Structure 1
């Protein structure tokens, strides 16, 4: 009788739910390995796609590395045009005074771009940024100066100078993203810089 009272007493109200709870616990235990396997497969697939994207970027960069200086400048002008910029000049070389590409952004800002091909392992030194800054705003009236390179990185001094003077520095990695469809607008500041104005 005591067992019946216990069953119909405090446990009696839970009794109908107990088999359901036990079933859910068993199902959860059985399903968890599949969920973990699914997450592992999903993570492996994400990694595979990232590896493919990186391989494609490196392949595209190899084609860029094979360009001459003039071809590289025309290539950068083409990327600007693709992104809706109106290219005013794209013939750098001797006497260009640091402006290989000059373009007007869709919002009207004047973009002056210095294009420098370096071996990927050679960082861009600070004097190159200094020379570009000497003419970008004063002679070419840049609202936004942009320095594009095939090098993997800028030196610490170059990065600090670029940041202090609001120069957009586009290294090899950013160049590959730009080449693969990211618009130049994504790299530009949203407001007109006050430096040199």
Structure 2
């Protein structure tokens, strides 16, 4: 009982001290307002400006964080979609390029897509079906931009189309086609995806829509001259 009474007395003393401190603070505030009336507007202005600055800094920081998060999200989405810059594609291995082509096909709604490239690929690197159900065979060449696709490589793809009984043959390259090989592709119904068309496909255009510009897009003689100056002969 004595201990309880002691604790109760101590609690009462603490409450009394708190009340005294609160009363002292109230009196001090009244004295400050009364004796420093000319200073009070400056105090209020300082508080307001500090609040505005704090809110402005918080909004700026929040905006930066949101923008950073958006950039990271967009980059992640681009990577998940299989997109790469052409400079990144140029340093890929042949297998990595075939995997990229397969991912782009899946992105466009193609089904049963699988990579079959290897030493005994029978002229095919990727097989699958277009969204409309037609079967396709794809040959991939991750060549340096200075090289040119020759007609004989397209003939190998024709053999692969027969071997796999595919409806559509696609030749995807990171360089350009020679004029004879470009004509050969158009004459035999091969979709020739040269470097420029691959860049368009890589950036979101569907594979099927590239058929409308097959045999085009490699430019006039001036364009070829700039190409050679950039990448070499």
* TM-score band w.r.t. shorter chain: 0.5 to 0.7
SS of the aligned residue for 1:169 comes to strand
Match of 1:158 among 181, 196, 216: 181
TM-score (norm 2): 0.53
Distance in 2 between residues matched to 1:80 and 1:144, nearest whole Å: 13
Task: State the secondary structure of the residue aligned to 1:145.
Answer: strand
Q: Which residue of 2 aligns with 1:73?
A: 98
CA contact (8 A) 1:88 1:101 kept: yes
Identify which of 177, 186, 201 aligns with 1:178: 201
Q: Aligned partners of 2:150, 2:130: CA distance in 1, in Å?
A: 27
The TM-score normalised by the length of structure 1 is 0.63
Alignment of 1:144 onto 2:164: no
Looking at structure 2, the residues matched to 166 and 140 of structure 1 have their Cα atoms a distance apart, in angstroms, of 16
Gaps of 5+ in 1: 1-58, 190-197
* Structure 1 segments (4+ residues) deviating >6 Å: none
Unaligned 5+ segments in structure 2 are 1-83, 213-233
Q: Relative CO higher for 1 or 2, CA cutoff 8 Å, sep ≥ 6?
A: 1
User: What secondary structure does 1:188 align onto?
Assistant: helix
How far did residue 98 of structure 1 move? 1.2
Q: Larger Cα Rg: Structure 1 or Structure 2? A: 2
State the partner residue of 2:190. Answer: 167
Structure 2 residue 211 is matched with structure 1 residue 188: yes
Size of the alignment, in residue pairs? 129
By how many angstroms is 1:135 displaced? 2.0
Question: Root-mean-square deviation (CA), in Å?
Answer: 1.3
Verify the 8 A CA contact 1:147 1:167 in the aligned structure 2: yes
